[in-house]
Structure 1
Amino acid sequence: MKKLLLPIFVLFFFILESLFVELFSPQLFNSDRIIVPHFLLVVLLFLTVYGGKKQGILYAAIFGLLFDIVYTEVIGIYFFLYPLIAYFVSKTMQLIHNHLVVVSLTSMVGIILLELGVYELNYLLKVTEMAFQTFLQERLYPTLILNLVFTILVSFPLKRQFDKYAEELRNE
């Protein structure tokens, strides 16, 4: 993966999240559940582990800011949390083996941290009045299931792409 293709590749998943929300809205299926795709975060975490810590955290900061500008009411939540979670995952992978299954499960922990962080900040700022138990049942669990399925589907191709990218960086 050439250096120019990496931003386009990550941007694709940024756009894919919004397309998924539009096409598979829970209201279309008469559901009260809130399903939040975090495809971009999964890609950024795989980039951090397999493509390089520096690139992963940098892209997490850039796309976190872009996410805040485009989608959120409070600027800075994702700009802060994306790189923080990428850093956490990179440090975790130094302690344990970066096997594909372990990275996938660690990505799920990253999604939990992101969801909890966003919920708590929105709750503190009075943007949401949702009770924590309701948050768990209506948002966190469905979100985790969706993102786990996504991670299972794309983990091997992402690992392969970012391994190639890391090899290209070493050869330059």
Structure 2
Amino acid sequence: MIARYSLIVVLFILFIIEGTVYQIFAPDLHGFPYQLIPRWMFMLILLAGIFRGRGYGLFYGIMFGVFYDIVYSQILGIYTFGMGLISYILSISIPFIKDNVAMTILTVTFGVVLLEYYVFGMMTLLGVTDMSHETFFNDRFLPTMIMNFTFLVIFTYPLRLWFQFLEKKFNELI
């Protein structure tokens, strides 16, 4: 029973922690010139899609995308559509990607890159931001990717073991 809902609980905890971490590294708080945007929840959604299947990636991407839109975004639907679509496209559950940690890391990193550029493009298109691409790339994109990539390298293997444990528990229930 606990195994069934553990992923949702962990995703929700990451959702809350992301907002807290962003407040700690807020650029205007300490004079820090860079924006570090944690995408840990989205990375876990992508990992769930890779290890559990496309349906899980799509469901969690849309569900937590709605939460993201309500809490963190000015415009509803941007994160819902972006997280849902990207997690559906990149939830490639073939054994080569599931068994190869480096390919898993590259796939999830590519997903974060797509989400960052999608959100920046939509915000620019809708006139919500007037940030230039150079400023976005240097002050937000690179620091965000370095932080998220470091997090991903550290936690991918333990998360892979956790997903294998969950798969084993789900098979026992059936």
TM-score (norm: length of structure 2): 0.90
Does residue 103 of structure 2 align to residue 102 of structure 1?
yes
C-alpha distance in 2, partners of 1:53/1:124?
Answer: 29
Among all aligned residue pairs of Structure 1 and Structure 2, give the percentage whose two residues are the same amino acid. Answer: 29
Partner of 1:131: 132
Partner of 1:72: 73
- Post-superposition Cα deviations, 1:80-138, rounded to whole Å, max 9, x if no partner, equal 011111112124x5495331111111111111100100001000110000111111111
Which range moved further: 144-153 or 98-107? Answer: 98-107
- Post-superposition Cα deviations, 1:9-39, rounded to whole Å, max 9, x if no partner, equal 1111111101111223333442221111101
Amino acid at match of 1:124: L
CA contact (8 A) 1:52 1:166 kept: no
Q: What SS does structure 2 have at the residue aligned with 1:31?
A: coil
Q: How many equivalent residue pairs?
A: 171
TM-score (norm: length of structure 1): 0.91
- Mark the runs of 5 or more structure 1 residues left unpaired by the alignment: none
Does residue 28 of structure 2 align to residue 21 of structure 1?
no
Task: Name segments (4+ residues, structure 1) moved above 4 Å.
Answer: none
- Mark the runs of 5 or more structure 2 residues left unpaired by the alignment: none
Amino acid at match of 1:151: L
Partner of 1:87: 88
Does residue 63 of structure 2 align to residue 62 of structure 1?
yes
Does residue 160 of structure 2 align to residue 159 of structure 1?
yes
